A = this chain, B = another copy of it.
Amino acid sequence: MAELALIAALERSLGVRGDRIVRALGDDAAVVGARAVAVTSLDTAVEGVHFRLDTHTPGDIGHKALAAALSDLAAMGVCAGEAYLGLVLPEAVDDDDALALMRAADALAERTGTTIAGGDVVSGPALVVSVAVTGWADSPEEVVTRDGARPGDLVGVTGELGGSGAGLALLDGLDVRDLDAGARESLFQRHRRPQPRLGAGRALAAAGATSMIDLSDGIATDARHLAKCSGVSVALELDRLPLAAGVEAVARAAEQDPLALAATAGEDFELLLCAPPPRRERLERAAHALDCPLTWIGEIASGAGIELRGRSGAAASLAGFEHGTPQARKYRAAGRPGPDEHPQRRSADRVPPSEPGPA
């Protein structure tokens, strides 16, 4: 396909949602009617670091890159607005692949009320997808940040954990016998097609969540970011972590503690939230109304860092993880290698060394 034909096809694959778009695509920049507060994040997904072309379809890659960016808006409790996609295309990615990537991103944009309003396409040595997203709120008070947790707050988490990491282990060829086809497919989906919790993020913000963060790097890492920003300690009851179906079987096959896998493997894109105990029922009702599981897994205390309570094997495994694995945050450094680490494999870096649990 010729250059302009590819661009025209990419543009045709995109829809406009809502009535705030004055001008999208085809100009130097997009023009959008604003609300009072803009909430913006930029995420970059790199071939060989965040995905591989032999385990992820172009559609998986487009979906996941946008989902990861929208998940940041979910954690702020705001509506998604516009997305801007920058594609670096290597020779191995042909025009049909580029279109499939963009169509999958736009399908997620459609489901989340997002408009892909601009971006660019350039050639390069590896597939890179940069996604900037802007969400909107009517006042700064509506926006939930990482620094609002206070001692005594309850700590909750949406959905289930470990599914993405277990799916990645399966993609990497881990042999797991006692896993039915449905659970296997579900784990693949959780890794390849994560769903940003935008509706839950808004509902939990409205119901009084005082602080939120999305779980992109694993709860052991992300809870520590929240603790640092809020100037508190996060105590987590490991036994209460809600595991996705199939995670135990995958962890057993990997000779790993399932709770450690769930707490560290990352990319679940669930929300960690904090709130004073009197708001508990209101938050539960808000989550229930959206069919979003909400599990209380700990509490905020004075101090710093995270405190892991529960099974000693998992806690020991995580204690090792705390000091041995690269951390990520905004300005987020994903997979920037330390001296002993392979530069190409961010995801694998996240799974701690296998360490059998006591059970």
Contact = CB atoms under 8 A, between A and B. Distances in A.
Nearest to A22: B140
B29 A73 contact: yes
Interface string A36-80: 111111111111111000000000000000000001110110000
Contact of A28 (B48, B75, B120, B326): B75
Contact of A10 (B6, B122, B331): B331
A138 to B, nearest CB: 10
A132 B336 contact: no
Q: Chain A contact residues (Cβ within 8 angstroms of B): what range?
A: 35 or more
A160 interface: no
Nearest to A119: B42
A90 B333 CA distance: 13
B31 A34 contact: no
> How often does this chain occur in the complex, in copies?
2
Interface string A93-106: 00000000000000
A225 to B, nearest CB: 9
Given A28-B41, A128-B128, 6 more contacts: A23-B143, A33-B38, A38-B134, A44-B87, A118-B330, A123-B334
Interface of A: 2-4, 6-7, 10-11, 22-23, 25-50, 71-73, 75-76, 82, 84-91, 117-126, 128, 130, 132-136, 140, 143, 145-147, 212-214, 229, 326-327, 329-338, 343-344, 346
